[in-house]
A and B are shown apart, each in its own frame.
Chain A
């Protein structure tokens, strides 16, 4: 298990760093508390009222679609990084067509959600 020792050290270091920073700023930092500063942080809007309110399901749909197409980018980037190396080892059309197939499948998904009217916010 010797190989894993550096990971343990990193764990300890990271935890120590975070804890030290918080304690240090708590001890030596200057504090001028105002009402606005003590408010819980909520992306710029006032956190007033119950969090259990209803809001449109469209937010979820957009978030879901974002994740789906985000995956596309996640797969594309490593492919693009090693593309030159890959075409030397494997054949050029193979590397290209494999990725185009992947994009094609995602494109079908895009067409599907489009035709199903997911982007029409007024309906």
Chain B
């Protein structure tokens, strides 16, 4: 192995490197400042993220292809998902300052954990090899376990962190075992190599690859909170600080979707005569079943939720189901756009909920929202927009993204049209629980003793453009 064959090009991993360096710098600022250099940390994080965004934009100039001996790839999917992840991270950094100062939590660790998580997610989106997938997933997951328990003295936050950690490690073991078996069957961990091995029909133990694929499906299914593996989601989402919930439900989810797409649609989807076709049919059927289960479980249980964070947790399960519909077509773009629209809506909704819940997440029942519509019109209107987007009501990006995924699946895979029908029925069910908080906000009497929440400038800076972008992207797309 020579240096040239490794194809080292540090520009190919520039976004990941920039974000990691920023995280390290924040750690050092935190260590050397006396009492929580809040502003310096937030500013550094922001500069790092913007630089990373610029470097993502220049990735296309580095050239589409694989680098670092196939460990990292540059392609449109990576660029698209990286932008989604960075937008999420920027929004979280903007929203975090109010959360941290209201709750009196140490700022340094929070920002550096967010940055480390972001670097892991970026790596996950750029993975060209199972090893990189695992590495990125672990960096993103371990930091998220810590972030879920960031409100250290709150028992619910601790519960959330511990549950997420134990179940998350368990599912990672599945994923890793699946990778090992896949390596055993195909003699390579490179995603392109796996595809070629399947295409050539030279698989030594086809059963081994089948079991490996199934185990990886379990591992990925857990991380995106799809139906038989979704049980951790409501508890973890409810207990974690709201801003972290917004982060967990969007960034890591989008990143895992990127890797999931790469492994399954990218490598296992080789419908050649013989084993390739068998594998293809098996996993497509599995995904179809999982997608229908996920949507139905998420939507039906969300109907009976009294707590808005739990409701949105089930809603995020349902959305994973909708996005899975895009897998059967083998079209990356629809899923990528779906995850972008979903991330913007979801993080926006959680941002408003965080402000309305106040320090310590006291007011997260839907009943607490009674009559606030005309009392705090800005917040209520934003929340209404995000909820309508999640429901997929026309002028929003939520509608357009759903429309793309569903029509694409309907046209390209006639055999699986029942999947689209199930998704549409589920979307209709979901309208009820998305509209319910809006009705409560605008058409119910105000609770006595309602105190207007404080909204800082940075928070407003995050929410207003977010909702505007969300409305606009629906209009021009």
**Interface residues, chain A, with chain B CB atoms under 8 Å away:** 89-91, 94, 105, 108-109, 111-112, 114-116
**Interface residues, chain B, with chain A CB atoms under 8 Å away:** 1-3, 6, 8, 24, 27-28, 30-32
Cα A105 to Cα B28 with chains together (Å): 11
Cα A94 to Cα B10 with chains together (Å): 12
Contact A112 B3 (CB under 8 A): no
Contact B24 A90 (CB under 8 A): no
The 8 tightest CB contacts between A and B, nearest first, are A115-B31, A112-B31, A90-B3, A112-B27, A108-B24, A91-B3, A116-B31, A115-B32
Contact B27 A108 (CB under 8 A): yes
Q: Give, as a whole number of angstroms, the nearest-CB distance from B389 to chain A.
A: 40
Question: Which one of A89, A105, A114 contacts B2 once the chains associate, using CB atoms below 8 Å?
Answer: A89
A-B contact count (CB 8 A): 25
Residues of chain A lying within 8 A (CB to CB) of residue B8:
94
If over half of A's interface residues share one DSSP class (helix, strand or loop), that class is named, otherwise mixed; here it is helix
Chain B residue nearest to A86 in the complex (CB): B1
Contact B31 A111 (CB under 8 A): yes
Residues of chain B lying within 8 A (CB to CB) of residue A108:
24, 27-28
Interface centre among A89, A112, A114, A116 (most CB of B within 10 A): A112
Cα A94 to Cα B3 with chains together (Å): 9
Q: Give, as a whole number of angstroms, the nearest-CB distance from B66 to chain A.
A: 19
Q: Give, as a whole number of angstroms, the nearest-CB distance from A116 to chain B.
A: 6
If over half of B's interface residues share one DSSP class (helix, strand or loop), that class is named, otherwise mixed; here it is helix
Contact B28 A112 (CB under 8 A): yes
Q: Give, as a whole number of angstroms, the nearest-CB distance from B49 to chain A.
A: 20
Residues of chain B lying within 8 A (CB to CB) of residue A91:
3
Interface centre among B2, B30, B31 (most CB of A within 10 A): B31
Residues of chain A lying within 8 A (CB to CB) of residue B27:
108-109, 112
Cα A4 to Cα B428 with chains together (Å): 55
Cα A19 to Cα B1 with chains together (Å): 46
Cα A45 to Cα B3 with chains together (Å): 55
For the A-B complex with A90-B1, A108-B27, A112-B31 known, give 20 more contacts whose Cβ atoms are closer than 8 Å.
A89-B1, A89-B2, A89-B3, A90-B2, A90-B3, A90-B6, A91-B3, A94-B3, A94-B8, A105-B24, A108-B24, A108-B28, A109-B27, A111-B31, A112-B27, A112-B28, A114-B31, A115-B31, A115-B32, A116-B31
Residues of chain B lying within 8 A (CB to CB) of residue A89:
1-3
Cα A67 to Cα B166 with chains together (Å): 20
Q: Give, as a whole number of angstroms, the nearest-CB distance from A98 to chain B.
A: 10
Cα A68 to Cα B365 with chains together (Å): 42
Chain A residue nearest to B3 in the complex (CB): A90
Residues of chain A lying within 8 A (CB to CB) of residue B6:
90
Q: Give, as a whole number of angstroms, the nearest-CB distance from B181 to chain A.
A: 14
Residues of chain A lying within 8 A (CB to CB) of residue B30:
112
Residues of chain A lying within 8 A (CB to CB) of residue B1:
89-90
Q: Give, as a whole number of angstroms, the nearest-CB distance from A18 to chain B.
A: 27
Contact A111 B2 (CB under 8 A): no
Chain B residue nearest to A111 in the complex (CB): B31
Q: Give, as a whole number of angstroms, the nearest-CB distance from A3 to chain B.
A: 11
Chain A residue nearest to B2 in the complex (CB): A89
Residues of chain A lying within 8 A (CB to CB) of residue B28:
108, 111-112
Chain A residue nearest to B33 in the complex (CB): A115
Q: Give, as a whole number of angstroms, the nearest-CB distance from A117 to chain B.
A: 10
Residues of chain A lying within 8 A (CB to CB) of residue B24:
105, 108
Chain B residue nearest to A117 in the complex (CB): B31
Chain B residue nearest to A1 in the complex (CB): B205
Chain B residue nearest to A94 in the complex (CB): B3
Q: Give, as a whole number of angstroms, the nearest-CB distance from A24 to chain B.
A: 37
Residues of chain B lying within 8 A (CB to CB) of residue A114:
31
Cα A29 to Cα B21 with chains together (Å): 62
Chain B residue nearest to A115 in the complex (CB): B31
Cα A34 to Cα B31 with chains together (Å): 54
Cα A89 to Cα B32 with chains together (Å): 41
Cα A89 to Cα B2 with chains together (Å): 6
Cα A108 to Cα B28 with chains together (Å): 7
Residues of chain A lying within 8 A (CB to CB) of residue B31:
111-112, 114-116
Cα A89 to Cα B28 with chains together (Å): 36
Residues of chain B lying within 8 A (CB to CB) of residue A94:
3, 8
Q: Give, as a whole number of angstroms, the nearest-CB distance from A93 to chain B.
A: 11
Cα A90 to Cα B2 with chains together (Å): 6
